A = this chain, B = another copy of it.
Amino acid sequence: MSQQRPGGQSGQPGAVPALPDLPEATVARLPEYLRALHNLAETGHDTVSSEGLAAAAGVNSAKLRKDLSHLGSYGTRGVGYDVALLIEQIEYVLGLTQRRAVALVGVGNLGHALAGYAGFATRGFRIAALFDADPSRVGEQISGLVVRHIEDLAEIAAAESIAIGVIATPAAAAQSVADQLVAAGVTSILNFAPCVLSVPEGVDVRKVDLAIELQILSFHEHRKASLTSLPATGPTGGLTALPGGLSATGTEEAVGT
Chain A residues within CB distance 8 Å of chain B = 1-2, 5-8, 12-19, 21-22, 24, 27-28, 30-32, 34-36, 56-58, 85, 88-89, 92-98, 100, 102, 109-110, 112-114, 116-117, 119-120, 122-125, 157-158, 161-164, 166, 182, 185, 187-190, 194-226, 228-237, 239, 241-242, 245-257
Select A163's contact among B163, B207, B246, beta carbons within 8 Å: B246
Select A19's contact among B1, B57, B102, B222, beta carbons within 8 Å: B222
Select A252's contact among B157, B202, B210, B257, beta carbons within 8 Å: B202
Is the CB–CB distance between A235 and B88 below 8 Å? yes
Q: Name the residue on B nearest A21 (C-beta).
A: B245
Number of this chain's copies in the complex = 2
Residues on B with beta carbons closer than 8 Å to the beta carbon of A21: 223, 239, 245
| Given contacts A208-B210, A236-B14, A219 and B93 within 8 Å (CB-CB) | yes
Residues on B with beta carbons closer than 8 Å to the beta carbon of A222: 19, 93-95
A117 to chain B, nearest CB (A): 6
Select A224's contact among B7, B202, B235, B242, beta carbons within 8 Å: B202
Is the CB–CB distance between A221 and B112 below 8 Å? no
| Given contacts A1-B237, A16-B235, A31 and B248 within 8 Å (CB-CB) | no
Residues on B with beta carbons closer than 8 Å to the beta carbon of A17: 232, 234-236
Q: Name the residue on B nearest A160 (C-beta).
A: B248
Is the CB–CB distance between B247 and A24 below 8 Å? yes
